């Protein structure tokens, strides 16, 4: 079952000493791009959350937000960040003097800056906090994964509809191929006869030229490869592993075969079929970018 890279999960639990919330958002990305926010007090948990997320997701841009609030706030202590306050006040007064600015530097001005204070939790055991956070994070990741799976099913259905259209186009090309080659040879024979008039045509030479032309215009190999690519695409959509990169590669190969078929035959019927096929390939290309 393919998965989309778009998903969302949020889980909250009040566990013992902490009120814990984990929120994860996932969007498209070429690789796994993790961004984890834990707040100042719980920065030690950032790597643990990244490791846990890496085990759950292989691709996508993920934003993980962790909020941990001690129940009752008993373990949180505020202290003055003296270094920041001194620098901040000095710079404000310097600005007043250099630019002749009015107003007063008050305690409210300084207290409005979050960096004026430091939060500490002297008695908090990070291992104990992680033991409470981990199951909440796992449930949030599971919810995000479930949403990615649901969206992946929709994408797979849409991709299969385009693959079916391409298979129908491939069948039409295969059916038309003998007729197109025969008609082209007949046109060549008539044209040569028209140009030479009453002059006797070297039949063996003409047959040789027709054979060379037929070989150049023959797209049976491209049709066979296209059929193989479409079959592989279907098989990948049934796999349970991340297949986004392989689907992207196959889409490029499908497009390559369509281009070759179009370039080797000037027949209007082939041209119309190739244009229709390239339109389907472009739709596939857009959707494949969303798959993990």
Q: What is the pLDDT of residues 187-234, one digit of tens each?
A: 666 665 565 555 565 566 555 555 555 555 677 888 899 999 999 999
The residue among 116 and 136 whose pLDDT is bigger is 136
Whole-number pLDDT of residue 93: 83
The residue among 12 and 209 whose pLDDT is bigger is 12
For residue 88, pLDDT over 90 is answered with no
Give the separation between CA 217 and CA 89, rounded to whole angstroms.
80
Q: For the chain, give the percent of residues with pLDDT over 70.
A: 83
What's the 3-state SS for 88-132?
A: HHHHHHHHHHHHCCCCCCCHHHHHCCHHHEEEECCCCCHHHHHHH
Containing H/E element for 148? helix 126-196
In 3D, which of 170, 187, 191 has the Cα closest to residue 277? 170
Whole-number pLDDT of residue 198: 57
Range picked from 34-48, 75-89, 203-217 for highest mean pLDDT: 34-48
- 30-42 average pLDDT score: 89
Comma-separated ranges of CATH 3.30.230 domains in the chain = 7-75+122-149
- 146-161 average pLDDT score: 95
What are the tens digits of pLDDT across the range 50-79?
Answer: 999 999 999 999 999 999 987 765 556 677
For residue 136, pLDDT over 90 is answered with yes
133 pLDDT tier (thresholds 50, 70, 90)? very high
Options 1.10.10, 3.30.230, 3.20.20, 2.30.29; which CATH number does 7-75+122-149 get?
3.30.230
Q: For the chain, give the percent of residues with pLDDT over 90.
A: 49
Whole-number pLDDT of residue 205: 58
Name 2's Cβ contacts closer than 8 Å, sequence gap at least 6: 152, 153, 155, 156, 236, 237, 239, 243, 244, 291, 292
Whole-number pLDDT of residue 144: 96
The residue among 125 and 133 whose pLDDT is bigger is 133
The residue among 80 and 62 whose pLDDT is bigger is 62
36 pLDDT tier (thresholds 50, 70, 90)? very high
- 24-39 average pLDDT score: 93
- What mean pLDDT value characterizes the chain? 84
What are the tens digits of pLDDT across the range 245-266?
Answer: 999 999 999 999 998 888 877 7
* Local structure of 24: helix, strand or coil: strand
């Amino acid at each position: 079952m393919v998965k989309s890279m778009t998903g969302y999960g949020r889980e909250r639990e009040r566990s013992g000493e902490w009120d814990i919330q984990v929120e994860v958002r996932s969007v498209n990305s070429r690789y796994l791009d993790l961004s984890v926010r834990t707040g100042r007090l719980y920065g030690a948990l950032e790597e643990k959350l990244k490791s846990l997320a890496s085990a759950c997701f292989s691709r996508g841009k993920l934003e993980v937000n962790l909020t941990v609030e001690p129940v009752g706030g008993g373990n949180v202590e505020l202290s003055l960040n003296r270094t920041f306050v001194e620098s901040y006040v000095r710079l404000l007064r310097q600005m007043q003097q250099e630019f002749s600015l009015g107003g007063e530097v008050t305690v409210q001005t300084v207290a409005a800056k979050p960096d004026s204070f430091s939060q500490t939790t002297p008695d908090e055991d990070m291992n104990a906090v992680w033991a409470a956070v981990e199951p909440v994070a796992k449930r949030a990741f599971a919810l995000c994964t479930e949403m990615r799976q649901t969206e992946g099913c929709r994408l797979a259905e849409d991709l299969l509809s385009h693959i079916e259209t391409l298979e129908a186009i491939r069948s039409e090309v295969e059916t038309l191929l003998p007729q197109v080659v025969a008609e082209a040879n007949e046109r060549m024979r008539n044209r040569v006869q028209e140009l030479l008039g009453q002059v006797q045509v070297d039949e063996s030479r003409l047959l040789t030229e027709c054979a060379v032309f037929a070989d150049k215009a023959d797209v049976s190999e491209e049709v066979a490869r296209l059929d193989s690519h479409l079959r592989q695409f279907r098989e990948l959509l049934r796999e349970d592993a991340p297949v986004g990169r392989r689907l992207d590669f196959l889409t490029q190969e499908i497009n390559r075969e369509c281009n070759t078929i179009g370039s080797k035959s000037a027949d209007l019927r082939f041209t119309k079929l190739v244009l229709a096929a390239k339109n389907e390939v472009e739709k596939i290309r857009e959707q494949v970018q969303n798959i993990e």
